[in-house]
Amino acid sequence: MNIRPPKSMPTLPAVLHDVRAWLHQYVSISTEQATLITLWVAMTHALNGFDFAAYLHITSPLPECGKSRVLEVLETLVPKPWHTSRVSAAVLMRKVDAQHPTLLLDESDAAFSSEKEYAEALRGLLNSGFHRDGKASCCVGQGANLTFKDFSVFGPKAIAGIGRLPATVESRAIPITMRRRTRDEPIRRFRKRDATAEGAIMRDRLAALLAEQVERLTLDRP
């Protein structure tokens, strides 16, 4: 699938159709799952129109089911992607507060089974970060200057890992359950340089088209 600039800007439905078809090239998922992921990607480009941002939970019962590949593909499509699997609790809160990235968190099962301080900090960030006023508190400073700060942690987040999330985080997430593909389900080899260039075209089209919809989305009361 070659993504080429059109002579004029395509419509939003056409771009969403292209994104869904492109997802199918790299990961073995159902049409319904591809549709959900595509709409989630669109949400990341119109975030100012939302008070809540549901997470994506990309899960499987076994390794090697394509979870990390989904995050790699999303990295090419979403605004300000931050693809990571392990950072300190302090970096996690500070970067989300300062940059409001689209967090693409891999290996969540390892993160939640790691040391208690990090696991609880991650859980706190995810519990609060799905709504616009969400805050996570952390100590800052040293010695006599030690105090606390409330970090703004709202933003879109896709979480990949084996098994289930903590219940409070799972209730904020849309589950995408993966399975190992069979031999008769061929997919395109993911070459980051090519995928980044193709994904950037669709990402920029979504950003331009959805910027026109933010005010209407803000006023909508579904």
Which has the closest alpha carbon to 199: 114, 75, 113? Answer: 75
Tell me the average pLDDT across 168-183: 90
pLDDT at 108: 86
Tell me the average pLDDT across 165-180: 92
Residue 15 one-letter amino acid: V
**Exposed/middle/buried for residue 30 (C-beta within 10 Å: 0-12, 13-18, 19+):** exposed
Which has the closest alpha carbon to 11: 195, 212, 197, 196? Answer: 212
Angstrom distances, CA of residue 5 to CA of 61, 108, 201, 202: 40, 37, 7, 9
Instruction: State percent of the chain over pLDDT 70.
Output: 95
Which has the closest alpha carbon to 159: 211, 124, 208, 107? Answer: 107
| Contact of 102 with 155, CB cutoff 8 Å | yes
Q: How much is the pTM? A: 0.89
The span from the CA of 4 to the CA of 26, in Å, is: 18
Greater pLDDT, 72 or 112: 72
Residues pairing with 149 in the sheet? 138
Query: pLDDT (tens digit, 9 = 90+) per residue, 43-68?
Result: 999 999 999 999 999 998 888 888 99
| Contact of 15 with 206, CB cutoff 8 Å | yes
Among 19-28, 125-134, 145-154, 163-172, the minimum mean pLDDT is found in 145-154
Number of helices (H) and strands (E) in the chain: give both, helices first. 9, 7
| Contact of 140 with 86, CB cutoff 8 Å | no
Which has the closest alpha carbon to 100: 167, 53, 160, 161? Answer: 53
Average pLDDT in the chain: 89
Confidence of residue 15 (pLDDT cuts 50, 70, 90): very high
The yes-or-no verdict on residue 150 having pLDDT over 90 is no
Tell me the average pLDDT across 131-159: 83
The yes-or-no verdict on residue 148 having pLDDT over 90 is no
Among 79-88, 101-110, 160-169, 180-189, the minimum mean pLDDT is found in 180-189
Angstrom distances, CA of residue 46 to CA of 18, 50, 112, 120, 121: 18, 7, 30, 30, 27
The yes-or-no verdict on residue 41 having pLDDT over 80 is yes
Query: pLDDT (tens digit, 9 = 90+) per residue, 80-107?
Result: 999 988 777 778 888 999 999 999 999 8
Residues pairing with 162 in the sheet? 60
The yes-or-no verdict on residue 6 having pLDDT over 70 is no
Query: pLDDT (tens digit, 9 = 90+) per residue, 66-80?
Result: 899 999 999 999 999
pLDDT at 210: 95
pLDDT at 125: 86
